[in-house]
Amino acid sequence: MVKLPLESVVAAVPWIATVAPETAFPYTSTTLPVADRLEIVRAYVADDALLPFTAFTVKVTLPSLAAASAPHDARAKDGQAAAPPPPPHRRRPTAALPGDYPVTVVGALYLHVPFCPGICPYCDFHKMRRDEGLVARYLDRLEDEAAELAARYPGPLDTIYLGGGTPSHLTDGELRRVTAMLDRHWGFPARLETTLEADPLTFTPERLALFTELGFSRLSIGVQSTQDPALRFLGRVHDGRQGMQAVDWALASGLAVNVDVMTAVPGQDAERDLRAVAATGVGHMSVYSLTVEPNTPFGRRGVRVDPEREADDFEAAPRVLAGYGLERYEVSNYARPGRESRHNLAVWRGETYLGLGPSAASYLPEGGPYGVRSTNPPIRGWLQGAPGERDPLSAEGLMLERLLTGLRTREGLDLDATEAATGLRLERLAPRWLSDATRHGLLELAGSRLRATAAGLARLDALLRAYARAAA
């Protein structure tokens, strides 16, 4: 952490990752464009009322990290025209919240759409089949929740992510209503990335044109496998040909495309699936092992995943996908340069985000100096306006969360920034764990940046459990 005169930082440093007034909630803005970051700093400086403190602690990113988080530059590198700079705006404290925490930057929004065309027996997300009456009540309640949330966190938003469930299972009219509602409250689309999750059977080329017209910039398609026996085992409603046709249509539409692929499925040749999808030229892939949760039909039926096969597929994925230009940037996510998911990166970097819809999670800058995790109730309670569960984080809890998400990513986490946010120094909190993990080649520490190695990523759960024991 360096302390510099603020104006000289504003004048000289191109990227500011964290502006952290000593007494306020850490003001993290790693996904914001440069102009906006500088605007935030200037807003603080210009307003005497906001200066009970005279020194700011400013963490400056290294150029290599700046490149990884520079969406406009990255778009240009990816061969597309660089997007025009977003309009200048002032995101600064505007109102007091209970507990005297000011409204601060929250630049990411997740909206949960719980309706699906079919229910997959392995799925433990909050989902259900659609019912017209239920969808109508869902949309009404969404309007109320959005109005309440936007009054506290007016944005503008950098990323919007419609996930589920299957958001593309909404009708055209329902999708128009959702996007118009988001537009009224925050502006739609978001400034950097606006994602829609979609099932292969829920769109055609004509419908993709509608998605584009509405403002979506990215489509995340749940293909899972290209092999019919594996798809039947997973209870998917599409077959291999339909999944690949959906990918081709999406790529032809000009949207940025992610494809979800599942591995370790009994009877599946995972490498063949990975190659088939990567060969389409898709810019992003999410690769997850089949996991069987006890509260699912698979769990109740006693379906088991072969651990050797799971380990083999986990090891194969980065090797196979690197051959197609898709590099692992998170333990389960691969992208061509500049095609990383900006929304997910914000979450993995520990930034705050808003959640809308039943069972949606938020991380909000309120409820204590380290923020609060909040999870909406499932649909029945949510429709009635029942409050969500709130879990104010402690310094130790925030440190654990930064490790949980940061170590999943190729960029890792910055221990100086983590200390600025938590007041805790990892080297003092768990010295033995850190030295053992680095000595065994599971973690690597370069300056203040801590990353998991490939071997560490393969043992991440065990590594983090060991940390929790060491820091207890």
Q: Name the residue nearer to ligand SF4 (CB basis): 123 or 460.
A: 123
Q: Name the residue nearer to ligand SF4 (CB basis): 318 or 355.
A: 355
Q: What mask of x and - would describe binding to ligand SF4 in positions 27 to 66, judged by CB under 6 A?
A: ----------------------------------------
Binder among 123, 305, 316, 460 for ligand SF4 (CB under 6 A): 123
Output the smallest distance, CB 404 to ligand SF4, in A.
23
Sheet containing 16-21, strands listed edge to edge, beginning at the edge strand earlier in sequence: 27-28, 16-21, 56-60
Residue 53 CB neighbours (<10 A): 12
DSSP 3-state assignment of 397? helix
Candidate ranges 91-99, 122-130, 333-341, 446-454; the one touching ligand SF4 (CB under 6 A): 122-130
Q: Is 222 in the site for ligand SF4 (CB under 6 A)?
A: yes
How far apart are the C-alpha atoms of 290 and 357, rounded to whole Å? 26
Output the smallest distance, CB 181 to ligand SF4, in A.
22
Q: Is 195 in the site for ligand SF4 (CB under 6 A)?
A: no
Q: Name the residue nearer to ligand SF4 (CB basis): 164 or 369.
A: 164
Q: Name the residue nearer to ligand SF4 (CB basis): 116 or 356.
A: 116
Q: Name the residue nearer to ligand SF4 (CB basis): 120 or 407.
A: 120
Candidate ranges 8-16, 120-128, 323-331, 337-345; the one touching ligand SF4 (CB under 6 A): 120-128
How far apart are the C-alpha atoms of 411 and 349, rounded to whole Å? 9
3-state secondary structure 254-319: CCEEEEEEEECCCCCCHHHHHHHHHCCCCCEEEEEECCCCCCCHHHHHCCCCCHHHHHHHHHHHHH
Q: Name the residue nearer to ligand SF4 (CB basis): 108 or 221.
A: 221
Output the smallest distance, CB 168 to ligand SF4, in A.
10
Nearest to 169 by CA among 227, 237, 262, 260: 237
Q: What angle do CA 174, 200, 335 make, to 5 degrees?
A: 105
Candidate ranges 119-127, 202-210, 346-354, 459-467; the one touching ligand SF4 (CB under 6 A): 119-127
Q: Name the residue nearer to ligand SF4 (CB basis): 202 or 422.
A: 202
How far apart are the C-alpha atoms of 158 and 109, rounded to whole Å? 8
Binder among 105, 120, 274, 356 for ligand SF4 (CB under 6 A): 120
Nearest to 91 by CA among 39, 129, 53: 39
Q: Is 358 in the site for ligand SF4 (CB under 6 A)?
A: no
Span 130-189, contacts to ligand SF4 by CB under 6 A: 164-166
Binder among 116, 400, 407, 413 for ligand SF4 (CB under 6 A): 116
Q: What angle do CA 395, 430, 288 make, to 5 degrees?
A: 80
Output the smallest distance, CB 231 to ligand SF4, in A.
11
Could you give the C-alpha distances from 421 to 39, 226, 370, in angstroms and in order?
21, 44, 7
Using an 8 Å Cβ cutoff, are 374 and 364 in contact? yes
- Count of residues that interact with ligand SF4, criterion CB under 6 A: 11
Q: Name the residue nearer to ligand SF4 (CB basis): 119 or 311.
A: 119
Output the smallest distance, CB 125 to ligand SF4, in A.
5
Binder among 119, 209, 386, 462 for ligand SF4 (CB under 6 A): 119
441, 442, 443, 446: CA torsion to nearest 10: 30
How far apart are the C-alpha atoms of 393 and 373, rounded to whole Å? 7
Candidate ranges 101-109, 115-123, 413-421, 441-449; the one touching ligand SF4 (CB under 6 A): 115-123
DSSP 3-state assignment of 208? helix
Q: Name the residue nearer to ligand SF4 (CB basis): 31 or 268.
A: 268
CA atoms within 13 A on the CB side of 71: 21
Residue with CB nearest ligand SF4? 123
In single-letter form, the type of residue at position 439 comes to: R
- Helix, strand and coil in the chain, % to nearest 5: 40, 20, 40
Those residues whose C-beta lies under 8 Å from the C-beta of residue 282, and which sit 6 or more positions away, are: 247, 251, 257, 258, 259, 326
Binder among 91, 127, 141, 191 for ligand SF4 (CB under 6 A): 127
Residues contributing to the site for ligand SF4 (CB under 6 A): 116, 119-120, 123, 125, 127, 164-166, 199, 222
